[in-house]
């Protein structure tokens, strides 16, 4: 009776583990190829009647790596200190990451905890951020949702936040394909007057037909005009999240298989003793 019960439990574990592994791998594969949903010749967003300009709403997903209005999502990502060589007082901070769907950036205009970082440049720099994907450059600008012009950070009060639009301009070639992402960024002013922002840009909105990415894709994020004389943040590949799940699923199957082998071996040993 005990042997029969153990066999049933082991069989259930294999079926359950295999099913979980299949679903995890399936979900990971679907997520990793999200960018391929655009067909040949198809463009992101909707035509708004402007030359080489399209617009679309940012669509948040439960598995997004970063949520726009949750700055705590960035706490485990390294900070890159930005400053201009002629300005040792205004020290800015930046973070940058990607997942299998979007590219994310974070900027805080001052670090109040650092000695010397007490300059007066505390309002968010709203334009001329540069994202490079395998050497191709895209300009990132924050827009006022009401006027469609560059966002004015001086209208934000302490303790308040606001969603703004993100304009992505393709700087490769002379056509300047532009995509505007509605509610693609969130700007917040702290009680100390220092502003910070997070933005999210879908891969599909980078350039005319989006960009295809993989684990060897090289990214760079910077604002060389007003904020930083350094190289910015460089990153290679995508988030390891989906791949981590696949590895865990494979390990689960391995553990389950080892358990079956161990039990069968023990059973055979017991049978030899009792013969």
Per-residue pLDDT tens digits for 79-126: 999 999 998 788 999 999 999 999 999 999 998 787 555 678 999 999
113: left (phi over 0), alpha (psi -120 to 50) or beta: alpha
Range 170-178 average pLDDT? 88
* pTM, 2 dp: 0.73
Model confidence at 73, pLDDT cuts 50, 70, 90, reads very high
Model confidence at 267, pLDDT cuts 50, 70, 90, reads very low
Q: Which residues contact 99 (CB under 8 A, 6 or more apart)?
A: 63, 64, 65, 66, 238, 239, 241
Q: Which of 139, 142, 149 is nearest to 124 (CA)?
A: 142
Q: Which of 141, 144, 163 is nearest to 152 (CA)?
A: 144
Contact between residue 78 and residue 95 where contact means Cβ atoms under 8 Å apart: yes
Give me the residue label for tokens 């020290």: 91
Give the per-residue pLDDT at 154: 96
Percent of the chain scored above 90 by pLDDT? 55
Domain boundaries, the chain: 2-29+241-274, 39-236
State the average pLDDT for the chain.
78
Q: Which residues contact 20 (CB under 8 A, 6 or more apart)?
A: 249, 252
Give the per-residue pLDDT at 88: 79
Q: Which of 254, 53, 26, 6 is nearest to 168 (CA)?
A: 53
């Amino acid at each position: 009776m005990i042997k029969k019960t153990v066999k049933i439990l082991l069989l259930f574990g294999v079926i359950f583990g295999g099913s979980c592994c299949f679903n995890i791998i399936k979900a990971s594969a679907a997520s990793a190829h999200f960018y391929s949903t655009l067909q040949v010749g198809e463009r992101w967003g909707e035509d708004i009647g402007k030359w080489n300009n399209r617009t679309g709403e940012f669509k948040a997903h439960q598995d997004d790596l970063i949520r726009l209005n949750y700055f705590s999502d960035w706490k485990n990502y390294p900070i890159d200190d930005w400053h201009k060589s002629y300005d040792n007082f205004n020290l800015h901070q930046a973070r940058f990451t990607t997942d299998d769907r979007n590219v994310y950036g974070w900027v805080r205009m001052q670090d109040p905890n650092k000695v010397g970082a007490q300059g007066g440049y505390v309002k968010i720099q709203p334009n001329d951020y540069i994202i490079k994907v395998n050497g191709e450059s895209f300009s990132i600008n924050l827009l006022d949702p009401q006027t469609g012009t560059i966002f004015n950070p001086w209208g934000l009060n302490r303790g308040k936040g606001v969603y703004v639009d993100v304009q992505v301009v393709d700087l490769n070639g002379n056509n300047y394909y532009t995509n505007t992402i509605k509610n693609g960024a969130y700007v917040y002013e702290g009680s100390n007057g220092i502003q910070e922002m997070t933005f999210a840009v879908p891969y599909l909105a980078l350039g005319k037909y989006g960009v295809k990415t993989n684990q060897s894709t090289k990214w760079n994020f910077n604002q060389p005009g007003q904020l930083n004389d350094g190289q910015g943040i460089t990153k290679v590949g995508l988030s390891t999240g989906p791949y981590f799940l696949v590895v865990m699923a494979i390990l689960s199957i391995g553990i389950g298989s080892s358990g079956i082998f161990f039990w069968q071996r023990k059973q055979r040993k017991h049978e030899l003793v009792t013969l």
